[in-house]
């Protein structure tokens, strides 16, 4: 029975005197941390959680252009340490990063250090124990830890992205091991959950993959009592992402703690109100952003490719100097409010909001998670 | 060769028909052999000859290291004397046999009289002469010219990797005191370790006695030495317990000295690990390693230094986290109360790229160590790194300004930072700064210059949060806010020394990273550096 479902993977034979854990390190299959040996029985248990054919091809992943099958995903899910019931979520996660619009290759190959951040919505969170509360972005919860890692191991072992190879992160960040969490929808009842904002039904279980390049960095605001002031603080912090004087060309995730949600919701603010306030606070006249020999900032060379989200304007006077009216143009931090993803997560105590680093040019993808078998 | 040593260890081994007890009361020749060793095979006819000729008066015992091989040797060499079964290797281990064959002659009370290992024609000839003397029988009729002068022996089975460590763990005087957990044959050991709650959500390596013993061999210290008491459990942290957690984390044994030094650093009272972990801010130790150990054990200071993919970085940082979890007793939902958390709480350990920044003083030298010392520095951070992109600045003022603007965003754009902040400068950014002759201190000054503004600009107002209430009072010292106060310049970082600047990262990429501080000073934390033990002949 086992051999009927697991089809094609080459079986590795390990002698009794071999250390299987060391062997898997030696094979280069790990991210530097131990993995669970992917025995046929474990892979089979994983595959039993989906209706899909183990040999179904989910995508062709760069740079190896290797076909990613359901079975190969299961093998990596075992290695990552997943429980079998996490498998449909892992499958949807790899479908998201395998989507052409996601841009997996650029995400991994950039020196900025892109990595998929996975956010889960819907009933699956409770069913399999995904943490959206205290320490949601930290360690200690198996579902969060291993689902994010399974997607990373697919990128390493199937796609073939490895640090020093096609993966070229300059500094890197620990979110490159794993970063997956749930939105605490129930704790923010007046806000539209992320998956609903993205067109799914509230009862759907959905995973969203978004490339981020660093962080989070945490905003502390323990004193603001109005939505306007608190969202102002968040806006000032978001304005500092990537460079305080350079607009963001990518989507970014803002994780709002329950206590901060309470302050915002008490004044009747929605996610869109927070987005608008962030944009309002973070926008600056172009003259305040331009680089000089004393301060880095918006590159003068970039003036030649005037940001497409601004009204077209001549920039230079006939004598080559910069036109005042062009310098007075208010430059938003984001070309579009929808680039700001807002989710509520975190423990009930603590007045913090955490913000991740965007990566220019990447597009997030959401996929529905299969119902349990 | 005769020595007045104390008696060799007692033992009882089966020879297939009876138990043989040592010492036997008669002179005894113990011949340790294993079947797949050509030198043992070369010796077997001589051992048989000694058994046949002197066996009536002297106990001549072959001691074989695996039961199937023993049967083969008995059969092939027509052995009629005893072949003792030491397939459990306990006697070989207790006798510290590292080479086979090893022949040991003892008196009737078990005192060693003579010993040699490998094949030496003269050694064997002398041994038969001695047996002849002891038994009063004639010298064996051996045609010695048929034998080579010498042939080196083979490694004893008891010394094979994996086996040696198991034997050591099981032997009397084992370094291991920890309670053993039995794993049933049908149990999944990885699942069992999850169920025991000893993991951070990711799989761990099963801490078998062999692996723990191997880890302990990389320190000269007593496994039972208590190096700290960690809150909240106030459990004693012994070297052995640290070794168990290093195995769980996936460390290679040569990483162990770094793990030990890092554990001592976080257990230092000034570090205040309890306060850092218990805070809702999400404090976690970040480990920065300097000195020659980096290269010896392969710690990454280059491309992706703060990311995944490098076993030393990944597992050393994780080992310290598991010590905090499994010995200290801090667990999320328990005494660990991070509101949001961050992935650096799994592991965050990297090395400074000292060689890539030759004009800058490395972190450990700034902290009072010698350049050639290997040092680990532990510092509590609460999130990050968040990157600052600057691809166009060509002057140190402009680039230092960019880094300063980014550092000014830490915590809150309108709140001063409250503690030590790790700033990771990438090699390309280093180049821009160093080309103009800037040092780490010059960068610190520029960051401070950029982050300084009058008090009025820090104040919370209806537009945003900022200085207010108790945090504002710290600057007013209990007095009312006056117009004069409003113009007072306030710096982002109270001390220049709070800016912990290290160079790390790949050769390409114009970004640096800034981390989030916890709080330094009373009630807060303070970074602690420890020198890493280097063991001659081990590791490097």
> pLDDT tens digit string along B61-98?
999 999 999 999 999 999 989 999 999 999 999 999 99
A197 and A308: one domain?
Answer: no
Angle between the B239-249 and B311-323 helix axes, to the nearest 10 degrees? 130
CB contact under 8 A, A112 and B387: yes
A346 within a domain of the structure (yes/no)? no
**Any idea what DSSP says for residue A157?**
I
In the Cβ-directed half-sphere of B479, how many Cα atoms lie within 13 Å?
Answer: 8
A189 and A314: one domain?
Answer: no
A38 and A163: one domain?
Answer: yes
**Any idea what DSSP says for residue B185?**
T
Position A16 pLDDT exceeds 90: no
Q: What pLDDT does residue A186 have?
A: 98
Return the residue of A nearest to B251 by Cα: A33
CB-based contacts of B47-53 (< 8 A; 24+ apart in sequence) = B47/B77, B47/B79, B47/B101, B48/B77, B48/B78, B48/B79, B48/B80, B48/B81, B49/B128, B49/B140, B49/B142, B50/B127, B50/B128, B50/B131, B50/B140, B51/B79, B51/B80, B51/B81, B51/B82, B52/B80, B52/B81, B53/B131, B53/B137, B53/B140
Angle between the A70-80 and A87-98 helix axes, to the nearest 10 degrees? 120
Position B508 pLDDT exceeds 60: yes
A86 and A197: one domain?
Answer: yes
Q: Please state the rounded mean pLDDT for residues B291-306.
A: 97
Q: What pLDDT does residue A49 have?
A: 97
Position B274 pLDDT exceeds 70: yes
Position B538 pLDDT exceeds 60: no
Instruction: State which of A101-110, B170-179, B227-236, B281-290 shows the largest mean pLDDT.
Output: B281-290
Q: Please state the rounded mean pLDDT for residues A281-306.
A: 91
CB contact under 8 A, A33 and B202: yes
What sign does the CA torsion over A210, A216, A217, A220 have?
Answer: positive
Q: How confident is the model at residue A7 (pLDDT cuts 50, 70, 90)?
A: low
Can you tell me the distance from the alpha carbon of B341 to that of A133, in angstroms, rounded to the nearest whole number? 10
- Among the three residues A213, A239, A262, which one is the final residue of a domain in this structure? A213
A70 and A156: one domain?
Answer: yes
Q: What pLDDT does residue B374 have?
A: 98
A206 and A290: one domain?
Answer: no
Return the residue of B nearest to A247 by Cα: B389
Q: What pLDDT does residue B1 have?
A: 42
Window 53-112 of A: residues touching B by CB (8 A cutoff) are 80-81, 111-112
Higher pLDDT, B540 or B294: B294
Q: What pLDDT does residue A253 have?
A: 98
Q: What pLDDT does residue A2 have?
A: 42
Reduce the DSSP state of residue A58 to 3 states and report it. Answer: strand
In total, how many domains does chain A have? Answer: 2
A–B interface: beta-carbon pairs under 8 A: 373
Chain B partners within 8 Å of A175 (Cβ): 342-343
Quick count: other Cβ atoms within 10 Å of Cβ B67? 15
A361 within a domain of the structure (yes/no)? no
Q: Smallest Cα–Cα separation from A137: which of A162, A112, A120, A153?
A: A120
A244 within a domain of the structure (yes/no)? no
Q: Among B382, B385, B398, whose Cβ lies nearest the Cβ of A292?
A: B398
Q: Please state the rounded mean pLDDT for residues A62-70.
A: 93
A38 and A179: one domain?
Answer: yes
A290 and A194: one domain?
Answer: no
Position B540 pLDDT exceeds 90: no
Q: What pLDDT does residue A3 have?
A: 44
Contacts of A259 (CB under 8 A, 6+ apart): A348, A349, A350, A351, B339
Q: How confident is the model at residue B461 (pLDDT cuts 50, 70, 90)?
A: very high
Position B537 pLDDT exceeds 60: no
A164 touches chain B (CB under 8 A): yes
pLDDT in tens, A234-274: 999 999 999 999 999 899 999 999 999 999 999 999 999 99
Chosen from B196, B465, B509 to mutate, greatest number of chain A CBs within 10 A? B465
A270 within a domain of the structure (yes/no)? no
Q: Please state the rounded mean pLDDT for residues B481-505.
A: 95
pLDDT in tens, A185-215: 999 999 999 999 999 999 999 999 999 999 9
Q: Among A140, A215, A296, whose Cβ lies nearest the Cβ of B402?
A: A296
Domains of chain B with CATH codes: 11-160 (3.40.30.10), 189-456+483-531 (no CATH)
Q: What pLDDT does residue A301 have?
A: 85
Higher pLDDT, B4 or A353: A353
Q: Among A215, A230, A346, whose Cβ lies nearest the Cβ of B465?
A: A230
Q: Please state the rounded mean pLDDT for residues B214-222.
A: 95
Q: What pLDDT does residue B3 have?
A: 46
Task: Give the β-pairing of B119-120 and B150-151.
Answer: antiparallel
A319 within a domain of the structure (yes/no)? yes
- Among the three residues A213, A235, A252, which one is the final residue of a domain in this structure? A213
User: Residue A206: in which H helix or E strand, if any?
Assistant: strand A206-212
Rounded to the nearest integer, the mean pLDDT of chain B is 94
A265 within a domain of the structure (yes/no)? no
Q: Please state the rounded mean pLDDT for residues B178-188.
A: 87
Rounded to the nearest integer, the mean pLDDT of chain A is 94
A177 within a domain of the structure (yes/no)? yes
Q: Please tell me the distance in Å from B506's CA to the nearest CA on chain A.
A: 4
A255 within a domain of the structure (yes/no)? no
Window 271-300 of A: residues touching B by CB (8 A cutoff) are 281, 291-297, 299-300
Q: What pLDDT does residue B491 have?
A: 96
Return the residue of A nearest to B310 by Cα: A32
Q: How confident is the model at residue B539 (pLDDT cuts 50, 70, 90)?
A: very low
A120 and A206: one domain?
Answer: yes
- DSSP letter string over B308-355? SS-HHHHHHHHHHHHHIIIII---BTTTB--SS--GGGT--EEE--GG
CB contact under 8 A, A135 and B333: yes
Q: What is the domain extent for residue A75? A: 1-213
Can you tell me the distance from the alpha carbon of B392 to that of B358, in angstroms, rounded to the nearest whole number? 23
* Residue A361 region by backbone torsions, left for phi larger than 0, else alpha for psi between -120 and 50, else beta: left
Return the residue of B nearest to A182 by Cα: B340
Position A289 pLDDT exceeds 70: yes
A208 and A289: one domain?
Answer: no
Q: How confident is the model at residue A169 (pLDDT cuts 50, 70, 90)?
A: very high
Q: ipTM value of the model?
A: 0.95
Chain A partners within 8 Å of B332 (Cβ): 134-135, 138-141
A25 and A129: one domain?
Answer: yes
Q: Among A175, A217, A301, whose Cβ lies nearest the Cβ of B410?
A: A217
- Among the three residues A163, A184, A213, which one is the final residue of a domain in this structure? A213
Identify whether the C-beta of residue B284 lies closer than 8 Å to the C-beta of residue B380: yes
A70 and A182: one domain?
Answer: yes
């Amino acid at each position: 029975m086992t051999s009927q479902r697991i089809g094609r993977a080459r079986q590795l034979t390990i002698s009794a005197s071999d250390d299987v854990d060391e062997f898997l390190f030696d094979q280069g299959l790990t991210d530097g941390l131990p993995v669970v040996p992917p025995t046929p029985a474990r892979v089979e248990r994983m595959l039993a959680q989906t209706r899909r054919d183990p040999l179904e091809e989910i995508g062709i992943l760069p740079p190896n252009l290797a076909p990613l099958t359901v079975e190969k995903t299961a093998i990596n899910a075992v290695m990552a340490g997943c429980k079998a019931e996490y498998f449909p979520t892992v499958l949807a996660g790899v479908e998201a990063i395998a989507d052409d619009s996601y841009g997996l290759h650029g995400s991994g190959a950039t020196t900025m250090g892109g990595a998929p951040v996975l956010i889960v919505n819907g009933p699956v969170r409770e069913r399999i124990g995904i943490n959206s509360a205290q320490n949601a972005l930290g360690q200690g919860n198996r579902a969060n830890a291993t689902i994010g890692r399974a997607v990373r191991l697919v990128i390493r072992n199937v796609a073939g992205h490895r640090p020093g190879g096609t993966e070229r992160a300059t500094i890197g960040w620990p979110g490159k091991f794993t970063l997956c969490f749930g939105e605490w929808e129930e704790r923010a009842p007046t806000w539209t959950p992320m998956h609903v904002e993205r067109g799914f039904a509230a009862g759907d279980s959905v995973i969203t993959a978004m490339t981020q390049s660093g962080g989070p960095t945490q905003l502390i605001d323990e004193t603001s009592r109005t939505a306007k002031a608190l969202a102002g603080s968040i806006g000032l912090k978001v304005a500092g992402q990537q460079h305080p004087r350079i607009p963001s060309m990518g989507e970014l995730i803002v994780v709002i703690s329950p206590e901060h949600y309470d302050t915002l919701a008490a004044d009747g603010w929605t996610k869109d109100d927070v987005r608008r306030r962030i944009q309002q606070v973070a926008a600056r006249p172009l003259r305040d952003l331009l680089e000089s020999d004393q301060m880095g900032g918006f590159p003068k060379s970039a003036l030649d490719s005037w940001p497409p989200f601004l009204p077209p304007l001549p920039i230079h006077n006939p004598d080559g100097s910069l036109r005042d009216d062009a310098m007075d143009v208010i430059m938003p931090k984001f070309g579009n409010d929808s680039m700001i993803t807002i989710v509520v997560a975190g423990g009930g105590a603590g007045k913090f909001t955490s913000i991740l680093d965007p990566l220019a040019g990447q597009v997030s993808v959401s996929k529905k998670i299969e119902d349990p078998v | 060769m005769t020595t007045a040593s104390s008696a060799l260890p007692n033992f009882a081994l089966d020879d297939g028909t009876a138990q043989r007890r040592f010492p036997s009361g008669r002179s005894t020749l113990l011949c340790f052999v294993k079947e797949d060793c050509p030198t043992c095979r070369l010796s077997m006819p001589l051992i048989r000859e000694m058994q046949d000729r002197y066996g009536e008066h002297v106990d001549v015992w072959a001691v074989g290291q695996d039961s199937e091989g023993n049967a083969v040797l008995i059969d092939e060499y027509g052995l009629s004397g005893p072949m003792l079964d030491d397939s459990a290797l306990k006697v070989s281990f207790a006798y510290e046999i590292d080479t086979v064959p090893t022949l040991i002659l003892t008196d009737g009370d078990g005192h060693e009289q003579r010993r040699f290992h490998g094949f030496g024609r003269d050694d064997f000839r002398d041994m038969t002469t001695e047996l002849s003397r002891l038994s009063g029988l004639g010298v064996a009729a051996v045609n010695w010219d048929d034998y080579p002068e010498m042939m080196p022996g083979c490694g004893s089975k008891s010394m094979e990797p994996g086996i040696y460590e198991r034997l050591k763990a099981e032997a009397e005087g084992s370094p291991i005191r920890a309670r053993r957990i039995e794993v049933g044959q049908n149990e999944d050991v990885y699942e069992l370790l999850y169920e025991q709650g000893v993991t951070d959500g990711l799989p761990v390596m099963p801490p078998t006695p062999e692996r723990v013993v191997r880890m302990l061999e990389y320190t000269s210290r007593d496994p039972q030495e208590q190096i700290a008491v960690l809150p909240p459990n106030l459990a004693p942290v012994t070297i052995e317990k640290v070794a168990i957690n290093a195995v769980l984390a996936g460390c290679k044994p040569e990483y162990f000295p770094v793990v030990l030094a890092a554990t001592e650093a976080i257990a230092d009272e000034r570090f205040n690990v309890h306060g850092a972990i218990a805070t809702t801010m999400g404090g976690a130790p970040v480990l920065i390693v300097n000195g020659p150990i980096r290269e010896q054990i392969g710690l990454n200071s280059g491309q992706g230094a703060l990311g995944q993919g490098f076993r030393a970085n990944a597992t050393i940082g994780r080992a310290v986290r598991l010590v905090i979890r499994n010995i200290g007793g801090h667990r999320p939902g328990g005494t660990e109360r991070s509101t949001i958390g961050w992935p650096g709480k799994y592991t965050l350990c990297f090395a400074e790229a000292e060689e890539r920044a030759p004009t800058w003083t490395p972190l450990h030298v700034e902290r009072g160590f010698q350049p050639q010392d290997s040092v680990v520095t532990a510092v509590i951070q609460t999130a990050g790194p968040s990157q600052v992109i600057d691809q166009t600045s060509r002057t140190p003022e402009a680039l230092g300004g960019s880094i300063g603007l980014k550092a000014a965003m830490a915590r809150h754009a309108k709140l001063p930072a409250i503690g030590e902040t790790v700033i990771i400068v990438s090699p390309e950014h280093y180049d821009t700064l160093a080309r103009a002759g800037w040092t780490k201190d010059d960068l610190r000054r520029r960051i401070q210059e950029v982050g300084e503004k009058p008090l009025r600009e820090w104040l919370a107002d209806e537009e945003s949060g900022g200085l207010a209430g108790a945090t504002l009072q710290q600057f007013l010292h209990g007095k009312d806010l006056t117009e004069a106060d409003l113009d007072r310049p306030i710096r982002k970082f109270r001390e220049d020394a709070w800016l912990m600047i290290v160079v790390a990262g790949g050769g390409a990429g114009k970004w640096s990273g800034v981390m989030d501080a916890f709080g330094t000073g009373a009630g807060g934390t303070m970074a602690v550096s420890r020198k890493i033990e280097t063991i001659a002949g081990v590791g490097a």
